Copies of this chain bind each other. A is one copy, B any other.
Amino acid sequence: MAQLSEATGVTVPSIKFYLREGLLAAGERTSANQASYGDEHVARLRFIRALIDVGGLSVATAGEVLAAVDTPDMPLSYVFGVAQRSISDTTLFAAVDPATDGTRAADALIERMGWHVHPENPGRQGVARVLDTLARLDRTDIFSDLDEYARAAEIVARADLASVARRGEVGDMAETVVVGTVLGDALVSALRRIAQEHVSFELFPAPPTAHEGIEPC
């Protein structure tokens, strides 16, 4: 276990915790207090740490995601759903019921984009919830060009699925979906932050202060 810790940079107490919580399979016992761990343990530990450290998942949520990946015959769309919900423990993806203005705006957007999706798609609920929230804040000026966001999302999804399609074996595909979904949101969020800085320097060469633009009384 000390060697496993050294190979992965994960502390022995953390490894013991993951073993106890069922995230990591036990090693092959070689004596009363020794077990042998293989490359698959190293790979699994790195996967666990990627979900927790970079994806920001809790240990419990990482466990649920790993269980979905480990279950044989799990449809890929289900693994997608588990991975997506795991990223956010907010109410973002819960069903919006009954239909609201946000739901209708989300459906109109889906139709404009020519997208084919089930009504239960959690993303549809998420979009509806964001739009309803903006309406309550009286800030429908934000994201007013919703089609641009949708166009960007389709570019991301095509790049996502191209990665999945390159993998032949489905067990591997499930892991690809999880890594891609969890780290993909982190990647897009990070890239958005860089692009925002670049575009904001284009638009506001000097940082505006609180005094600019306020009309004198």
Could you list which residues of chain A lie within 8 angstroms of chain B, going by C-beta atoms? 43, 46-47, 50, 53-56, 72-77, 80, 84, 87-93, 110, 113, 115-118, 121-127, 129-130, 133-134, 136-139, 141-145, 148-171, 173, 175-176, 179-181, 183-201, 203-204, 207-214
One complex includes copies of this chain to the number of 2
Closest to A195 in B: B157
Contact of A163 among B142, B151, B179, B184 (CB under 8 A): B142
A186 proximity list for chain B (CB < 8 A): 88, 90, 92, 126, 129-130
A54-B133, A151-B155, A208-B76 known; A194 vs B143 contact (CB < 8 Å): no
Closest to A189 in B: B185
A134-B179, A152-B153 known; A54 vs B188 contact (CB < 8 Å): no
